[in-house]
Amino acid sequence: MKCFSRGMLVGAALLPLVMAFAPSRAIAQGGQPVKIGVVLSLSGPAAVFGLPERNAIMAIEKEIAAAGGVKGRKLELVFFDDKTNPTEAARGVTQLINDEKVVAIIGPGTGGTILAAGPIAERLKVPLLGPAGTVAVTAKTNSFAPWVFRVAINDMVGVQTLLQSAVKKGAKRIGIIYQEDAYGKFGAEYAQKLSAEHGFTVAETVSAAYTATDLTSQATRLRNANVDAVFIQMSISSLGAAFLKAANDVGLKVPFFANSGLAQKSFIDAAGSLGEGVHVLSIGNLPYDPTPAEQKLVALLRKNGNEPQGWGEIIGGNGLMTVVAALKAIDGPVTGEKMRDTIEGLCGFETYSMGKPCFSKDNHDGWGADALVVTTIRGGQFRSAP
């Protein structure tokens, strides 16, 4: 693997595709490798997702390269660390398109970084495959909407699935704790909107900054509101664990329902025994109760020296497998515009995830509720809930 400065890592050879900065700049089949950009949070708060995403992408690429590429094309992955920073993400996307001539980008890594990079993708005509649930990234009101695809689960689907599970288990007065960013705020607001439809009341809502370590006041407010369950809208493992500690300290003894941001081994490790019994939404359940497709991904990861962490590997794999499916459908030179148009026609293609992926011109959210499972932490593992 070659490495560039300023946080950019360049992967070793992968599959021959096409390089495109503008429609007129394409590489013929059998020529130079097709370059695919990968802009992920390899450092900063969201590295807990970015590193597993990267590991899956690299492991899958090695298998593709060993099999001779895609339709005889080799692929070259070019990595860039967005550092969980929107400005860095925008810079990385610009650099990979202008300097490296990538024809598609897996990433950036979070909702905020995707939104920052969207206008650049629109201007330079290269699609982004975003591994984030933040609803706004595929909103049709965005001028760049035609150039952004989601390879994760839309948070509207995730929040509804989790809260339906809470209500089925008897929750009526639900408290909410969320992290102070777009992801957290949306989840809290959407839960409030769902309350009347699904038969529960939001009794109290509290928030915490990414870097908070003492959440005693938030846990106390939820306890004093007499909630009978808590919805945790967080994606930072240490923050989720800090809340569980505070809840235990103040005697908040109710069921906890965490969104998929916490479906990572790092959360189990950080929470320790306090995590037992917490219900966590997940995109699949790798590596604890894997489907046959997920088992293949687990094997690839371990073959490359990486122990699976959770859904990060799944959505990273979704990004690369979407690229592969598009390349299989393209004959001749590949451009960013051709990649975008082709992805809009993909449906039911091979992946390592649950659910049936399906994109269209009107739907850039490729995965739905059939890719989700509500798990419960038991014995230090995410186990599929009965």
> Would you say the C-alpha torsion 344, 349, 350, 352 has a positive or negative sign?
positive
Amino acid type, 31:
G
Q: Do 282 and 299 share a structural domain?
A: no
Q: Do 283 and 297 share a structural domain?
A: no
pLDDT-flagged residues of the chain (< 50): 1-30
Q: Do 242 and 104 share a structural domain?
A: no
Structural domain boundaries, residue 315: 2-153+291-368
- Quote the CA–CA distance of 39 and 122 in Å, as a whole number: 16
Burial of 175 (0-12, 13-18, 19+ CB in 10 A): buried
Q: Do 107 and 31 share a structural domain?
A: yes
Long-range contacts, stretch 167-172, CB < 8 angstroms, 24+ apart: 167/198, 167/199, 167/200, 169/229, 169/255, 169/279, 170/228, 171/200, 171/228, 171/229, 171/255, 171/257, 172/199, 172/200, 172/201, 172/228
User: Strand pairing of 74-81 and 105-106?
Assistant: unpaired
Per-residue pLDDT tens digits for 113-166: 999 999 999 999 999 999 999 899 999 999 999 999 999 999 999 999 999 999
Q: State pTM to two decimals.
A: 0.86
Q: Do 297 and 272 share a structural domain?
A: no
Q: Based on the structure, what is the number of domains in the chain?
A: 2
Q: Do 351 and 265 share a structural domain?
A: no
Q: Do 11 and 149 share a structural domain?
A: yes
Q: Do 180 and 40 share a structural domain?
A: no
Q: Do 109 and 57 share a structural domain?
A: yes
Per the structure block, which two tokens stand in for 110? Answer: 């979070």
The neighbouring-strand residues paired with 351 are none
* Residue pointed to by tokens 């091979």: 350
The secondary structure of the chain, three-state, reads: CEECCCCEEEEEEEECCCCCCCCCCCECCCCCCEEEEEEECCCCCCHHHHHHHHHHHHHHHHHHHHCCCECCEEEEEEEEECCCCHHHHHHHHHHHHHCCCCCCEECCCCHHHHHHHHHHHHHHCCCEEECCCCHHHHCCCCCCHHHEEEEEECHHHHHHHHHHHHHHCCCCEEEEEEECCHHHHHHHHHHHHHHHHHCCEEEEEEEECCCCCCCHHHHHHHHHCCCCEEEEECCCHHHHHHHHHHHHHHCCCCCEEECHHHCEHHHHHHHHHHHCCCEEEEECCCCCCCCHHHHHHHHHHHHCCCCCCEHHHHHHHHHHHHHHHHHHHCCCCECHHHHHHHHCCCECCCCCCCCCCECCCCCCEEECHHHEEEEEEECCEEEECC
- Quote the CA–CA distance of 250 and 220 in Å, as a whole number: 6
Q: Do 322 and 254 share a structural domain?
A: no
- Tell me, what CATH number does 276's domain have? 3.40.50.2300
Per the structure block, which two tokens stand in for 156? Answer: 């509207």
Q: Do 166 and 119 share a structural domain?
A: no
Q: Do 262 and 197 share a structural domain?
A: yes
